[in-house]
Structure 1
Amino acid sequence: HDFEKLKAAFVNFTHRLPFYGRVMLCIDDPHVRAILPQVTKPVTTYGFSEGAEVRALDAHAEGVQMHFTVRQQGYPDTKFVLNQPGMHNVLNACSAIAIAREIGISDEATNQGLQSFSGVGRRFTRYGEVAIPGGGSFTLVDDFGHHPVETEVTLAAARAAYPDRRLVLAFQPHRYSRTRDLFEDFVKVLATPDVLLLADVYPAGEAPIVAADGRALARALRTGGKVEPIFVEAIADMPAAILNAVRDGDVVMTMGAGSISGVPHQLTNVKA
């Protein structure tokens, strides 16, 4: 759990690159900026920051796509479209663009790839519209996010992709140790959706830890007063709990690295 050792391991990894290798680093991150002087291999920086060599400008959401312009010395300012939502995915795209340019792939080919990219499993996977028994429907999205930073950027992506719609989050914490170590961060980010359905912790082989379970999170969130969590003890009850809480036009996001992954399939099989 020593973050300095983690940074040192990353620097050591860059030292193992072959002589023709290049390191792509997101300069927006202060920890990445801190290790830059220690990286001896050729570096290309990217990000939203003014000092980034591959810089994203004017990034904005249009539905579930991100539109942005890339500025890099030696290239004209070029507009790109990414078929995934979220500012974090713009950064991911910038690293791909930088690598593509480094190895001689044209911007046109890269843009075609970004526009047709369908994503990877359980990363803002869109299930489309799901009927609500009794009338109406909601948009269903599933994501693997299971730590606070992932959760925060994914919820922000959902807000940008579906503005002016109620956001319902069904979240299953993953591991008691992670819940304990990042408890306050979880409380902060889980207070941001309009409706929160909170499952108990998926243990992933761990023994329970006192005050680091779903009920403890629910109590802390209730005390904070920003959201009234709906605690769902058994994950088997989550589909019914979602259908009970959802309204026509909502965006429902299921999130977590555990057994909640089966909930979207159960919801899509519900008879209207």
Structure 2
Amino acid sequence: MERLDVIGNISRDRTHYPDHRGGARLGGAALLLSMAAAKAGRPAAPVCVLGSDLAHLPEAPGLDVIDWSARIQADGTSTTFDLEYDLQGELVAVRTDYGVAEGVTGHALRHVDLHPRGTYHVCCRRPLDVEAVLGRLAGNGADFSVDFFLPSAEAMIRASAHWLPKATTVFVNAAEYQLVERVVDTSTLPEVIVTDGPRAAVVRHFGRQGASAVPPPYLPREVTGAGDTLAGTFLAHRSQGATTVQALAEATAAAARYVAAPSLPIPAPRRA
């Protein structure tokens, strides 16, 4: 089966909730989406830049489910996110230090040049130059899907608007879909997955709703990464021949299980 190459960040996250949930965890869309895809049966590789502090991840227990051959290491610290949520799981504040991920655009473009006919998912988040990366993928005629992160979504959606009709699938939440509608004729988009927290997720093909699925009612512990899990699971099942209805049901169920499970810990480096 063809590998899914996921362009994005891997990060050290700290989350905060008013009821004292949260804490330090391993995160980043490139990691979480790749892991979800791999667990659902599709080989996946994060195209990312790891700092010295996370250089040991490829050897960490439980993380060998993904293909690490597309990552590079750079001297310095990896991306860090400090994320504050309300009790409903809505993000209210985010503080970021991109660290070595400032080099992700150059790395991604070099990787795409080496693998021009690969299949890609692009996590459209800062500091990635999405215009350059999506332009290169579209120019190569590569299959690619995209998603966004609400704090930077307006700028990223505007930057990627020209290329969105060429994407196989666009993943957005309900608020991001409204931003897409402002800059793109949604009837030109082949497939859009719109999530809405615990409410029904829907699939729209060229502007028309084609499927919906309500996530199972799990009590959430941690919502960061739910969208990445849904996207990776959906793409994996579709690549294995599942219908849109089947893939969406599997994806919403995986996302619901993810938010109810313990967070992914930051593994300690192995001692020499």
The alignment's TM-score, normalised by the length of structure 2, stands at 0.30
The alignment's TM-score, normalised by the length of structure 1, stands at 0.30
- Largest Rg, 1 or 2: 1
